[in-house]
Structure 1
Amino acid sequence: MRRTPEADDATDAWLDKVESIAELAVEHRDRGEADRRMPPELNDALRAAGFARMMVPRHAGGEQESLTTATRVVEELARLDGSLGWVGWVTIGHGRLADLMSTAATSAVYDHGEGVVAGSILNTGTATRVPGGYRLTGQWSFASGCHGADYFLTGGSVVEDGKKVIIDGEPLLLALLLPPSECEILDTWHTTGLSGTGSHDIRVDDVFVADEFTFRADGVWQVLDSDGVGYGRPYSEYSPPMMAAVALGIAQHAIDEFKAMVEFKNRQQEMHWMARLPNTNAALGRAEATVQAARSFLYENVRLLASLEPGDAAMGLQSQMVGRYVAEQSAVVVDDLYEAGGGFSIYKRNQIERCFRDVRMVTHHGLISSVTYGNVGQAMTSGS
């Protein structure tokens, strides 16, 4: 496992935990791909290692680790398996939402288990106001790791007296937390890559959610300046680096596999033709240089985010730009190695083939998609 300048004692301790589940991850990654969900054994291992509590604030009983530590852990999980890295970032990252939850909600989620939260705050539900809470109906995509969750996170537009509630010209969107017993998992995750994440849809039909288990969804974009929060910085700033770390880990996995493939062919036949081709070694060297440069850029941004005070201006767009670039460069690395591998790359038994599919899934996430650069350019020309 690569120890980097970003590592410190806390990070090293968590990386040791990643290493402790490495054999299990490799053993079950094909099964996760075939079953289109995270294998129960890996869910149990993530729980036992305590990853779900890494970024849960201390006030909610968590470890409140730094973004640097969390990002490095996600990168190494993804180096083992892209799907594991993605479920890892969701499991770790959602812990930060405890800063937005009520005391009753944090107690329910974290006092009686590891507090694994899956789901999304997509505005594809309706929360109808009733005494003491809301009646929620809707369906939400991308519930990564849903089969191993203790609670589901959903989003819904608030309706009161038959009308959508409008605040500052926009519909009021709530995040709502529910136990899995109140939700239905739909078998919808038939995708190009990251099959093992089990990011199926979840559906809820007219379920009551108490006020205490809701919070305003726009809180994920806001700087939290109130006393007693664990982080203070917007949740939306921290998500792009961890997504990018998944792509970076996948790229490193592809490098590992490509190098091992060439070495294996050489053992079979001294100076196998693959090792003699100039583009083989050039592709490997270029991939290593690109990954190192992308990693430096990513952690430079992570250090910047970590240095910000609660009262500093939000840096969400900067974070998204860096996340997009790192994910994009990671995809370039995998594409180049896939091409250099020739006929060996096309077989599903080859991990580079899976990396080729998985890394493109990361670059399609809305927070770090291709529209990011346009948003950055617009902000630059508008003076914002």
Structure 2
Amino acid sequence: MEQIKHPSTLLQPAWVNTIRKYAPEAEQLGQLHPAQLALVYEQQWFNLLSPHLYGGQETPLPQLIQTEEALAWADGSLAWVVTLCCGAGWFGGFIEPHVAQQIYSDKQACLAGSGAPTGTATITGDGYIINGSWKYASGVHHATYITVNCNIMDGNSPVLDADGSQLILPFVLDRKDVQLLSGWKYIGMIATGSDAYEVKELYVNKDRCFKIDASAKVIDSQLYTYQFMQLAEATLAANLSGLAVHFLDLCKPAFEFKATNIRRVNADNVLVMDEALRSATLVLNQARATFFEAVEASWQNPSDEKLLKAVSATSRVLAKISRECVDELYPYCGLLAASPDTEINRVWRDLHTASQHSLLTFLD
């Protein structure tokens, strides 16, 4: 197995300095700091998955997850916003071209949204009337457009899919037509500003509706034929591994501080802490390497169901190992890791908040 690279190798030191310098202020703001946001726009990170046709990066998946892991190593909240918003930008491969052209004519275009089907879209003439509320839209404060998942209705009757289940379709809405609601009150990922939003009696034309399926793509590119589930799982797992690497990096100075300032920590204790860090680093890097190999293999042959299942499995294993490695080392870090004003505590809070995502909870 080829030696795995540290995420820092993918980012310029000046970028990391900007991202981390303003991370505490971003938490106070409850959204990305303007200096962080300026860097995101400069590097076009919100457009990592948007089509080339509209000025996007159309980044291959193996490269994407390494970039997102590196950003998570720099800061969890920034990486999560980039991941979720560029993930919504991937929908550009399925949105009606004239609507997509309008969206991406703004050089600071940013799509945010929720995958929960907690709205309704009632068929009305050549369009739909949308009502509903949605939770946890990461990056919504920076969004120029917002996506919603809706149960399709014909009057009071649900429209059924081909298999007889409720038909659920996504829509893309103008930010001005959406009311934001305060909703993110959790211990971590505070700067993601993952607040809720609602829509009431909004008419939209049918061209604002799209379908996420390879057969419905409007951009002829491999990126938009790759399975959405594995793309989502892999990008979220990369965020957790980036956070875990950051935590492990911060353990070394934390251990050194404890060894020189706590009298009860003797030479034998130092050896125990150092061995725990060495072991955790090895286990995490092995999981990262296996995960990256699975993603690369599936990208080379995206129609192979077995390879796609391997992406799902290795994503969940990486998420589990990321949590376990951090939790194994946390007790050795002392009160430094329990103070909400420290970087190591912010990383710990971010990882334990992000790891609650339902896609990565169960191994099967």
Q: TM-score, normalised by structure 1?
A: 0.85
- Choose the corresponding residue for 2:202, options 202, 207, 210: 207
Cα distance in 2 between the residues matched to 1:325 and 1:109: 37
1:194 aligns with 2:186: no
Paired residue for 2:85?
A: 91
- Residues 1:19 and 1:155: Cα distance change in structure 2 (over 3 Å): farther
**Structure 1: tracts of 5 or more residues without a match:** 374-384
Q: 2:322 aligns with which of 327, 330, 336?
A: 330
Matched residue, 1:56: 50
Within the candidate set 132, 157, 173, 2:168 is matched to 173
Alignment partner of 1:354 is 2:346? yes
**Which of 120, 141, 145 matches 1:147?**
141
Paired residues in the alignment total 359
What is the CA distance between 1:272 and its match in structure 2? 9.6
Aligned to 1:369: 361
Q: Secondary structure at the match of 1:273?
A: coil
Q: 276, 279, 295: which is aligned to 1:302?
A: 295
Q: How does 1:1-384 map to 2 (within 5 A)?
A: 4=4, 15-16=10-11, 19-167=13-161, 168-216=163-211, 219=212, 228-231=220-223, 232-264=225-257, 273=265, 277=269, 278-309=271-302, 311-313=303-305, 317-370=309-362, 372-373=363-364
* AA at the equivalent of 2:356: H
Task: Give the C-alpha shift of residue 125 in structure 1.
Answer: 0.3
More off after superposition, 174-183 vs 106-115:
106-115
Counterpart CA distance in 1 for 2:305 and 2:317 is 22
Q: Percent identity?
A: 24
C-alpha change, 1:295 and 1:97, in structure 2 (3 Å) is: same
- TM-aligned CA distance change 1:252 to 1:203, over 3 Å: same
Q: Is the 2:291–2:311 contact (alpha carbons within 8 Å) kept by the matching residues of 1?
A: no
Equivalent-residue separation in structure 1 for 2:226 and 2:330 (angstroms) = 38
In structure 2, do the counterparts of structure 1 residues 178 and 205 end up closer, same or farther at CA, with 3 Å as the change threshold? same
What amino acid is the match of 1:298?
Answer: F
TM-score, with length taken from structure 2: 0.90
Q: What's the secondary structure of 1:215's corresponding residue?
A: coil
1:100 is displaced (CA, Å) by 1.4
Corresponding residue SS for 1:341: helix
What SS does structure 2 have at the residue aligned with 1:25?
helix
Q: Partner amino acid for 1:124?
A: T
Report the alpha carbon displacement of residue 229 of structure 1 after superposing the two structures with TM: 3.6
Residue 88 to residue 122, structure 1, CA distance change in 2 (3 Å)? same
The answer (yes or no) to whether the contact 2:258–2:334 under 8 Å persists in 1 is no
1:160-216 CA distance string (max 9 Å, x none): 132110122111111011111111111110013211111111111111221111113
Deviations 1:307-360 (A, max 9, x none): 124x54486544332211101100111111211113332212332322222212
Contact preservation (8 Å) 1:236, 1:316: no
Deviation at 1:262, TM superposition (A): 3.1
